[in-house]
Amino acid sequence: MTDRPGNWTLTAAARLLEEPQHRLIYLCEKGVVDPDVEDAGGRGSSRRFSNRNLLEFALALCLRDLELPATAIAAVVHVLRAFEGAVTREIGGFQLPESLRVEDAPDLRVVIGDGRRLYFTLGVAGRAAKVYGGIDLDALKARTKEGASVRPKLKLVKPEGTQGDASEASEFGGPEGSRHTRVEISITRIAQDLPLDG
């Protein structure tokens, strides 16, 4: 399937993810997943993908199943890359997806609140999850569509309901304070379910 760990051909990636190749090609051509190892440089050339790319594909396919547009999915995936750097400062040696596949792995989730705001939650070693982001998804989609770099600063968000009565935030179930809709996807679970070992 792979010449060496973390170096996947398009055929091998499609087989591992149990998806047709054209879905993965579409995600590459729309700028959702940027191949880490080698991008197609022209006719007859091929793309090669890292383990992180396979996690990005798996996340993108989950979001695609929810019928999110490619620009929104690209924004989420690109912010995840930026967030990996922020997590590395908190958890030394953190690397996607490997750090999410170990015993007692951090619990990393992406949350889209009210269809407009992008958050990541990170729970480590039984502590309450920290919430990062609150990024305007429409602004990210516009930047992605323009081909601009998407590297927003992810700041810690104070959970809703920490001042006074927390019933409103806890009633809906999210520390980020979504009021009407909330989409939550476990990146940790996706990473653990990837059959990267062959």
φ/ψ region of 10 (left if φ > 0, alpha if ψ in -120 to 50, else beta) reads alpha
In the chain, what are the domain boundaries? 2-193
| Structure tokens, 50 | 């890292």
**CATH number, domain 2-193, options 1.10.1660.10, 3.30.1330.30, 2.60.120.650, 3.40.50.620:** 1.10.1660.10
How many percent of the chain have pLDDT more than 90? 45
Average pLDDT over residues 101-105: 93
φ/ψ region of 69 (left if φ > 0, alpha if ψ in -120 to 50, else beta) reads beta
- Indicate the range of 34-48, 107-121, 128-142 predicted with least confidence: 34-48
The Cα 62–Cα 69 span in angstroms is 12
The pLDDT, as a whole number, for residue 51 is 96
In this structure, the number of other CB atoms found within 10 A of the CB of residue 73 comes to 25
Kind plus residue range of the DSSP H or E element containing 28: helix 21-29
Is pLDDT at 30 greater than 60 in this prediction? Answer: yes
Confidence of residue 171 (pLDDT cuts 50, 70, 90): low
The pLDDT, as a whole number, for residue 117 is 87
pTM of this structure: 0.85
The pLDDT, as a whole number, for residue 153 is 67
The pLDDT, as a whole number, for residue 95 is 94
The pLDDT, as a whole number, for residue 41 is 66
Contact yes or no for 142/170 (Cβ under 8 A): no
Average pLDDT over residues 113-141: 86
The Cα 107–Cα 154 span in angstroms is 17
Confidence of residue 91 (pLDDT cuts 50, 70, 90): confident
Is pLDDT at 162 greater than 50 in this prediction? Answer: no
How many percent of the chain have pLDDT more than 70? 80
pLDDT, greater one: 47 or 151: 47
Nearest to 8 by CA among 47, 59, 39: 47
Contact yes or no for 178/113 (Cβ under 8 A): yes
